[in-house]
Amino acid sequence: MDVIPEPVRTHRHGPGFWELGPRTGLSVGKGADGTARWLRGTLGAATGLPLPPADGDGDDVLRLSVDPAVTGELGAEGYRLDVLPTGAHLVGGGPAGLFWGAQTLRQLLGPDAFRRAPLPGRTWRLPLVRIEDSPSFGWRGLMLDVARHFMPKEGVLRHLDLMAAHKLNVFHFHLTDDQGWRVEIERHPRLTEVGSWRARTKTGHRASELWDEKPHGGFYTQDDIREIVAFAAERHITVVPEIDVPGHSQAAIAAYPELGNTDVIDTTSLSVWDTWGISPNVLAPTDTTLRFYEGVFEELLDLFPSEFIHVGGDECLKDQWRRSPTAQARIAELGVRDEDGLQAWFIGHFDTWLSARGRRLIGWDEILEGGLAPGAAVSSWRGYAGGVAAARAGHDVVMCPEQYVYLDHRQAPGADEPVPIGYVLTLEDVYRFEPVPPELTPEQARHVLGAQANVWTEVMEDAGRVDYQTFPRLAAFAEVAWSSLPASRERDFAGFERRMSAHCRRLDALGVAYRPPAGPRPWQRRPGVLGRPIEGTPPNR
Ligand code: ACM
């Protein structure tokens, strides 16, 4: 059956199958409307089956329901699927569980169920099984950086579908960075007029001498965002937006020079950054900046219902603050020790501001430096250490250590990998990732909300490159995030690899340009484009 992520319990009732046909009906219980819509739309397109409304008691019916007894047993994201010779019953602990069950059902129908139109002569059958399944973690995330290279809306919607197919439920949307601002903010129109495009782009690692002289840009209108958020919600995916402050902000400063450290540099001369690395041009810690970003976040809260709002906080170079009389005066006025304290104050301001509006702040683990704001949660990316410290201090944590789940890192050694960046993180390396580090007590481990894979796009200029870096490793990640193992059991990578050969046929049907196990296809290579491979095993792994 080769389901990925592997269900918690699978029991074969017998050797046979239930065959679906044009008269197969769909019985839709309370709470099942969304999954019924999705099944008719997606499976209906792939199979050509109309799935007409039916009575749940009849034969040849796929029965969908939500049952509080299953909620108690398997949680709201859990489901039970029973396939008998006469029909099937899919029951969710909640609407989300039912939807994840529908994803399993689609996998059981075979790879052609992932196409968008029926192939001639296909029959559709389900093995006679009972599957009981529920996730170990409530946060099963994918971060996509659309700032370094813009991904047009269609690509984002496609990624949400790909996430759903892997039972991932949090889309961390990295919307701003030095190289681009990607979300329309009505009260600050220059953020997109100026900040959403750059004149040219470094090709490859920043040490490369190649440039793409074609302007690069794009942004999502507020209606685009509403569409993306609604599309995600229909798939039980929460979109967590990220506006990166106070570092990674050169695009915003290029649009509104008053946001920068004007007493240190001439910020009117800045443009949206065209190369990679960490820009020294960071936000000025002034009231002007705070009010400006409160306005940004006000519009964001209207667009994104997510409880968590990501404020970045990573890699804020402090050199300009050290040299800025304004920043130094603020340090003195606040009575904080140094520039780290200034950053903690800046992040703390938005922690308070978001809390007052019923939301919660999340930031990269640098927000621990200088003191963590009271309500803040942490995305632990520089290994597990930040997450461990935060969980021990009673803060919630999402584990996304770069040593395991940074999918911009190359997938194999060798010169054929396109624009090889960082350490080698193979499919197996990602599969060996465990979100909860053993040094946490059970009480502390409860603060680990889950895990996330991160896709930074400096060297991913288009959707094909994003596919190549993301897949098949995202499938390994999805299994780890769905099903944490008891300490007594080893993960079976050989078994996973075997299931992956079936899963690759699903990805083929979906049109995903994943990295083949034997290495890149000729057109997936980028000969002559400089990367920055690092040899050896990442530290802390
Ligand atoms: C990060 O990778 N700078 C969060």
pLDDT in tens, 176-210: 999 999 999 999 999 999 999 999 999 999 999 99
Q: Whats the size of the chain, residue-wise?
A: 541
CA of 381, closest atom in ligand 1 = 4
Q: Which residue minimizes the CA distance to atom 2 of ligand 1?
A: 381
Distance, CA of 478 to CA of 48 (rounded, Å) = 29
Give me the numbers of helices (H) and strands (E) for the chain, helices first please. 19, 22
3 state DSSP class of 47: helix
Averaged pLDDT of the chain = 97
Q: What CATH number is given to the structural domain containing 56?
A: 3.30.379.10
Residue carrying the six token digits 């200088």: 370
The confidence score (pLDDT) of residue 452 equals: 98
CA–CA separation, 210 and 528 (whole Å): 9
Same domain, 75 and 210: no
- CB–CB of 283/273 below 8 Å? no
Q: What is the pLDDT of residues 20-58, one digit of tens each?
A: 999 999 999 999 999 999 999 999 999 999 999 999 889
Name the DSSP class of 155: H
CATH number at residue 488: 3.20.20.80
Q: Tell me the residue type at 463.
A: A
pLDDT at 327 over 80: yes
User: Which of 177, 381, 399 to mutate to test ligand 1, by most ligand atoms within 8 A of the CB atom?
Assistant: 381
CA 377 – CA 370 distance, rounded (Å): 15
Please indicate, yes or no, if residue 4 is contained in any of the structural domains. Answer: no
- Which DSSP symbol is given to 459? T
Please answer whether residues 113 and 102 qualify as being in contact, where contact means their C-beta atoms are separated by less than 8 angstroms.
no
Q: How far apart are alpha carbons 257 and 195 in whole angstroms?
A: 11
Whether the per-residue pLDDT at 420 is higher than 60: the answer is: yes
Using the mean position of ligand 1's atoms as its centre, give its distance from the Cα of residue 219 in Å: 21
d(CA 289, CA 373): 19
Residues 419 and 523 in one domain: yes
Q: Is residue 265 part of a domain?
A: yes
Cα dihedral sign for 4, 104, 140, 138? negative
d(CA 88, CA 50): 16
In a domain, 258, yes or no: yes
Contact in structure between 34 and 99 (CB atoms under 8 Å)? yes
Ligand 1 binding pocket, CB closer than 6 Å: 314-315, 364, 381
**Is 460 within 8 Å of 408 (Cβ atoms)?**
yes
Same domain, 236 and 332: yes
pLDDT at 463: 97
Q: Tell which residue, 121, 132, 125, has the closest CA to residue 15.
A: 125
Instruction: Check whether residue 99 and residue 182 sit in a common domain.
Output: no
Distance CA 145, CA 212 (A): 19
The torsion angle over the Cα atoms of residues 295, 296, 298 and 304, rounded to 10 degrees, is 170
**DSSP 8-state assignment for residue 94:** S
Report if residue 538 sits inside a domain: no
Residue 488 predicted with pLDDT over 80: no
* Domain endpoint, select from 133, 151, 179: 133
**Environment class of 506 (CB within 10 Å of its CB; exposed 0-12, middle 13-18, buried 19+):** buried
Which of 244, 364, 367, 406 maximizes ligand 1 atoms within 8 Å of its Cβ, making it the mutation to test the pocket? 364
Query: If pLDDT is split at 50, 70 and 90, which confidence band does 490 have?
Result: confident
- Token pair belonging to 272: 């949206």
Same-domain status, 222 and 201 = yes
3-state secondary structure of 113: helix
The shares of helix, strand and coil residues in the chain, as percent rounded to the nearest 5, are: 35, 20, 45
Residue 2: inside a domain: no
126: tokens are: 């389900």
Domain boundary among 79, 106, 133: 133
Q: Is 78 exposed, middle or buried (0-12, 13-18, 19+ CB in 10 A)?
A: buried
Question: In the sheet that 25-28 helps form, which strands lie side by side, from edge to edge?
Answer: 9-20, 124-133, 79-84, 87-92, 61-66, 25-28
My answer on whether 179 and 315 are in the same domain is: yes
User: What pTM does this model have?
Assistant: 0.98
Residues above pLDDT 70, as percent of the chain = 99
Residues 127 and 203 in one domain: no
Burial class (CB in 10 A: 0-12, 13-18, 19+), 382: middle
Note whether 202 and 91 are same-domain residues: no
* Locus of tokens 């395991």: 404
162 vs 453: CA distance, rounded Å? 14
CA of 97 to the centre of ligand 1 (A): 32
Residue 366 alpha carbon to ligand 1 centre in Å = 9
Using one digit for the tens of pLDDT, what is the confidence trace for 94-146? 999 999 999 999 999 999 999 999 999 999 999 999 999 999 999 999 999 99
- Residue 229, H or E segment: helix 222-234
Active site residues: 177, 248, 315
Whether 239 and 271 map to the same domain: the answer is yes
Distance of CA 213 to the CA centre of its chain: 30
Domain-embedded: residue 344:
yes
Q: Are residues 118 and 170 in the same domain?
A: no
Residues 247, 283: Cα–Cα separation, whole Å = 6
Please identify, among 133, 163, 185, the residue that sits at the C-terminal boundary of a domain: 133
Say if residue 486's pLDDT is above 70. Answer: no
Q: How far is the CA of 314 from the centre of ligand 1 (A)?
A: 6
- Please say whether the beta carbons of 453 and 433 come within 8 A: no
pLDDT at 278 over 80: yes
How does DSSP classify residue 411?
A: S
Return phi, psi of residue 80, to 5°.
-130, 130
Asked, as a colleague might, if the bond just before 5 is cis with ω within 30 of 0, I would say yes
Host domain of residue 526: 141-533
Q: Is residue 396 part of a domain?
A: yes
Query: Is residue 463 one of the residues assigned to a domain?
Result: yes
Residue 368 has a CB neighbour count (10 Å cut-off) of 24
Rounded-to-integer distance, Cα 408 and Cα 87, Å: 44
Q: Are 14 and 128 in contact (CB under 8 A)?
A: yes
Q: Mark whether 287 and 430 lie in a shared domain.
A: yes
Q: What 3-state DSSP class applies to 311?
A: strand
Q: Are strands 170-174 and 238-245 parallel, antiparallel or unpaired?
A: parallel
Q: Which atom of ligand 1 is nearest to the CA of 454?
A: 2
Minimal-distance CA residue to ligand 1 atom 3: 314
Give the integer Cα–Cα distance in Å for 268 and 258: 8
Question: Cα Rg for the chain, rounded, in angstroms?
Answer: 24
User: How far is it, in rounded angstroms, from Cα 100 to Cα 480?
Assistant: 16
487: pLDDT confidence band, cut at 50, 70 and 90? Answer: low
| pLDDT (mean) for 341-370 | 96
The preferred substitution site among 176, 278, 315 for testing ligand 1, maximizing ligand atoms within 8 Å of CB, is 315
Q: Where are the beta strands (DSSP E) in 258-348?
A: 308-312
Instruction: Report the distance separating Cα 413 and Cα 204, nearest Å.
Output: 17
CB 104 within 8 A of CB 110: no
Same domain assignment for residues 188 and 127: no
| Structural domain count, the chain | 2
Q: pLDDT category, 370, cuts 50, 70, 90?
A: confident
Contact 134, 31 (CB under 8 A): no
